Amino acid sequence: MYLSREEEKLLESDNPTVAKSMEILVALGEIYGADRLVDIKSAHVSGISYQNIGDAGLEWLEGLNARVAVPTTVNPAGMDVIRWKEMGIDEGFYRKQMRILKALERIGAEMSLTCTPYYFSDVSKGDHLAWAESNAVIYANSVLGARTNRESGISAIAAGITGKTPRYGMHVKGNRAPNVLVKVGGDNASLIGYEIGKLLKHDEIPLIVADRKFSNDELKLMGAAMAATGNKAIFHVEGQTPEWDDFERPSEKLEIDVKEVEKTCEPDLVAIGCPHLSREELLRIVELLRGKKVKREFWVFTSRKLAEECRSIVESIERSGAKVFCDTCMVVSPATENFECVMVNSGKALEYIPKLRGVKAVFGSLEECIKVAIS
Determine if 270 is a binding residue for ligand F3S (CB under 6 A): no
Segment interacting with ligand F3S, rule: CB under 6 A, options 19-27, 159-167, 279-287, 327-335: 327-335
Instruction: Sort 202 into a burial class: Cβ within 10 Å, 0-12 / 13-18 / 19+.
Output: exposed
Q: How many CB atoms lie within 10 A of CB 155?
A: 22
Q: Which is nearer to ligand F3S, 28 or 332 (CB)?
A: 332
Q: Toward ligand F3S, which CB reaches closer, 197 or 250? A: 197
Interface mask (CB under 6 A) for ligand F3S, residues 210-249, using x and -? Answer: --------------x-------------------------
DSSP codes, 180-240: EEEEEESS-HHHHHHHHHHHS-TT--EEEE-SS---HHHHHHHHHHHHHHH--S--EETTT
Q: Verify binding: residue 274, ligand F3S, rule CB under 6 A.
A: yes
- Count CA within 13 A, CB hemisphere, residue 203: 2
Q: Give the span between the Cα atoms of 140 and 120, in whole angstroms.
A: 12
Question: For the chain, how many residues are written?
Answer: 375
76 binds ligand F3S (CB under 6 A): yes
Which run of H or E residues covers position 11? helix 5-11
- Using rule CB under 6 A, residue 278 touches ligand F3S: no
Residue 103 in contact with ligand F3S, rule: CB under 6 A: no
SS3 32: helix
Single residue of 87, 100, 332, 361 touching ligand F3S by CB under 6 A: 332
Q: Give the shortest CB-49-to-ligand F3S separation in angstroms.
A: 9
Instruction: Write b or e for each residue in 39-64: b if 16 or more Cβ atoms lie within 10 A of its Cβ, otherwise e.
Output: ebbbbbbbbbbbbbbeeebbeebeeb
| Contact status: 276 vs ligand F3S (CB under 6 A) | yes
Q: Which of residues 186-215 bind ligand F3S (CB under 6 A)?
A: none
Judged by CB under 6 A, which stretch of 26-34, 211-219, 273-281, 362-370 contacts ligand F3S? 273-281
User: Scanning residues 104 to 163, which ones bind ligand F3S (CB under 6 A)?
Assistant: 115, 135
353 lines the binding site for ligand F3S (CB under 6 A)? no
Residue 273 C-beta: closest distance to ligand F3S, Å: 6
Select the residue interacting with ligand F3S from 150, 164, 232, 348 (CB under 6 A): 348
* CB proximity list for 27: less than 8 A, separation 6 or greater: none
**Torsion angle, CA of 109/170/207/190, rounded to 10 degrees?**
-30
Binding site for ligand F3S (CB under 6 A): 75-76, 115, 135, 224, 274-276, 301, 329, 331-332, 348-349, 352
